[in-house]
């Protein structure tokens, strides 16, 4: 019910038209982003990632000490079409039953053809084009950017790491590093063959690896598991998961339409987290304890920050 600035700039939503189930949107405007320091605190990327936005009741005025522009103005600046006054509950129920579908926003009389973002390699679109060095620290990690959210990077920076952010298909064997992070991102994990290879390389060389969301699915595929499209995807900030080691539950943010099927997994892998509602796999861990993954977003943003400790657990492996 909060978090539209974060969601609109989340690369996982690249190319999509985002429908908000909470009807009131725009209340607190958009936070100022005069420089990269600014946007890296409040947004997940420096520009909008969605292709369009649909809301029930857009607030024409906003009120917040951090805001310097309205959501509408921000979208206008980013050339992102948006529409208000739509029965988003009915739309949500339709999407729930029929799955994610193609859509378009028609403004005025001029029709536009449908565009299918899944025909393009979305990960390639949102991944960095060149290797980028971020932060500094004694340990070096490679972050494979499949559409990494800024807050994943923020979490790593906070832990004083030397971060090498590389494109999704970057051959990591050329680098010396202490740990690997596979980021979240859009689309079907099966299309990320080069990234799956990088994960396998890390497993073979015993390099601690953390996978988040798409990164989790990539790790699962690297471990011999399969992925499938879910009937009801998880797209909310209230998904309960259970840590299979401690039997403790956490509330998490999720945004995925594919899930991991664990039947054909290689030996040594087990489920780390399970969804308490539908018992789907929410995370994997290798018995060595060195490689683990989460289907949910421990970096939250938007959403509850209950599982941020996983970054500390990763840090401890390095």
Partner 1 sequence: MHKSKYRKVLILGSAALKIGEAGEFDYSGSQAIKALKEDQIRTVLINPNIATIQTSENLADKVYFVPVTPDYIEEIIRKEKPRGILLSFGGQTALNAGLELFHRGILKKYGVDVLGTSPQTIMDTEDRRRFVDRLNEIDVKTSRSAVATSVSKALEVATEIGFPVMIRVAYALGGLGSGVCRSEQEVKELAAKALNLAPQILLEEYLSGWKEIEYEVVRDRNDNCITVCNMENMDPMGIHTGESIVVAPSQTLNNHEYHKLRSIALRVIRHLGVVGECNIQYALNPDSDDYRVIEVNARLSRSSALASKATGYPLAFVAAKLSMGYTLPDLKNSVTKVTSAFYEPALDYVAVKIPRWDLKKFRRVSRKIGSGMKSVGEVMALGRHFEEALQKGLRMLEIGAVGLVGNENFHFDDLTDELKSPSEERIFAIMEAFTQGFTIDEVHRLTHIDSWFLYKLKVVADLGKELALFRGQKIPAELLLHAKQAGFSDKQIAVLSQSEVHNIREQRAKSKITPFLRQIDTMAGEYPAQTNYLYLTYNGMKDDIQPTKEKIILILSSGAYRIGSSVEFDWCAVNTSQTLRKLGFQTMMLNYNPETVSTDYDQSDMLVFDEISVETILELEAKVRFHGVIVSVGGQIPNNLASQLAEAGLPLLGTPADQIDRAENRHTFSALLDSLQIDQPQWKELTSLQDAVVFAREVGYPVLVRPSYVLSGAAMAVASNDLELKQYLQKAVSISPDFPTVISKFLLNAKEIEMDAVAKNGEVIVYAISEHVENAGVHSGDATLVFPPQRLYLETIRRIRLITAKIAAALQITGPFNIQFIARRNEVKVIECNLRASRSFPFVSKMLHLNLIDLATRAMIQDQLTKPAASIFELNYVGVKAPQFSFTRLVGADPVLGVEMASTGEVACLGDDFNEAYLKALQAVGFRFPFQSVLLSTGSIESKAELLPAVRRMQEMKMQIYATRGTGQFLRNHGIKVKILKWPLEGKKPNVVDYIQSGKIDLVINIPKNYQPEELTNGYLIRRSAADYNVMLITNRQVVMRLIEALSEKRTFPLPAKSWDAYR
Residues assigned a catalytic role: 213, 297, 299
Contact residues toward partner 1 (CB under 8 A) are 1-3, 5-6, 21-24, 27-28, 31, 42, 56-57, 59-66, 87-90, 92-93, 96, 232, 235-240, 242, 247-249, 251, 276-278, 300-306
Interstrand relation of 209-212 and 179-182 (parallel, antiparallel or unpaired): parallel
Query: Edge-to-edge strand order for the sheet containing 179-182?
Result: 132-134, 162-167, 140-145, 179-182, 209-212, 291-294, 281-286, 269-275, 226-243, 248-261
Nearer to partner 1, 66 or 173 (CB): 66
DSSP 8-state secondary structure symbol assigned to residue 297: B
Name which of 92 and 120 has its Cβ closer to partner 1. 92
Q: 309 phi and psi, to 5 degrees?
A: -60, -20
Name the burial class of residue 36, with classes exposed (0-12), middle (13-18) and buried (19+) by CB atoms within 10 angstroms of its CB.
Answer: exposed
Instruction: Kindly state the smallest distance separating residue 246's Cβ from partner 1, in Å.
Output: 9
Question: How far apart are CB 268 and partner 1 at their closest, in Å?
Answer: 27
Give 19 or 222: the residue with its C-beta nearer to partner 1: 19
SS3 label, residue 238: strand
133 or 231, CB closer to partner 1?
231
- Closest CB to partner 1 among residues 85, 289: 85
C-alpha–C-alpha distance, residues 189 and 263, integer Å:
17
Tokens of 123: 């990960």
- Across 202-221, b (16+ Cβ under 10 Å) vs e yields bbeeebbbbbbbbbbbbbbb
Q: How many CB atoms lie within 10 A of CB 176?
A: 9
Cβ-based nearer residue to partner 1, 115 or 232: 232
Residue 40 C-beta: closest distance to partner 1, Å = 13
Report how far residue 33's alpha carbon sits from residue 42's, in angstroms, rounded to the nearest whole number.
8
Distance of closest approach, residue 87 Cβ to partner 1, in angstroms: 4
CB of 28 to partner 1, least distance (A): 5
Q: Please report how close the Cβ of residue 264 comes to partner 1 at its closest, in angstroms.
A: 27
- 291-294 and 209-212: which strand pairing? parallel
Tokens at 58, concatenated: 């857009």
Contact between 213 and 189 (Cβ < 8 Å): no
């Amino acid at each position: 019910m909060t978090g539209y600035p974060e969601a609109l700039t989340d690369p996982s939503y690249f190319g999509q038209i985002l429908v908000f189930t909470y009807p009131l949107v725009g209340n607190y405007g958009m936070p100022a982003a005069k420089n990269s320091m600014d946007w890296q605190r409040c947004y997940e990327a420096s520009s909008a990632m969605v292709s369009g936005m649909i809301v029930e009741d857009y607030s024409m005025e906003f009120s917040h000490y951090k805001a310097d522009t309205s959501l509408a103005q921000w979208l206008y600046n980013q050339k992102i079409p948006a529409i208000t006054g739509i029965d988003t509950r009915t739309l949500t129920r339709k999407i729930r039953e029929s799955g994610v579908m193609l859509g378009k926003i028609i403004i005025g009389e001029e029709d536009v053809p449908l565009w299918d973002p899944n025909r393009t390699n979305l990960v390639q679109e949102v991944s960095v084009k060149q290797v980028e060095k971020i932060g500094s620290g004694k340990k070096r990690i490679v972050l494979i950017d499949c559409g990494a959210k800024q807050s994943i990077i923020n979490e790593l920076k906070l832990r004083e790491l030397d971060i090498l952010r590389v494109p999704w298909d970057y051959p990591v064997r050329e680098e010396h590093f202490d740990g690997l992070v596979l980021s979240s991102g859009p689309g079907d994990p099966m299309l990320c063959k080069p990234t799956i290879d990088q994960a396998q390389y890390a497993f073979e060389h015993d390099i601690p690896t953390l996978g988040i969301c798409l990164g989790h699915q990539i790790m699962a595929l690297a471990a011999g598991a399969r992925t499938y499209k879910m009937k009801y995807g998880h797209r909310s900030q209230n998904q309960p998961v259970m840590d299979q080691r401690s039997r403790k539950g956490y509330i998490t943010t999720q945004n995925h339409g594919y899930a991991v099927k664990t039947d054909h997994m290689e030996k040594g892998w087990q489920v780390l987290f399970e969804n308490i509602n539908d018992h789907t796999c929410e995370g994997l861990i290798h018995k060595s304890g060195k490689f683990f993954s989460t289907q949910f977003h421990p970096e939250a943003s938007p959403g509850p920050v209950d599982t941020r400790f996983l970054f500390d657990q990763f840090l401890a492996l390095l």
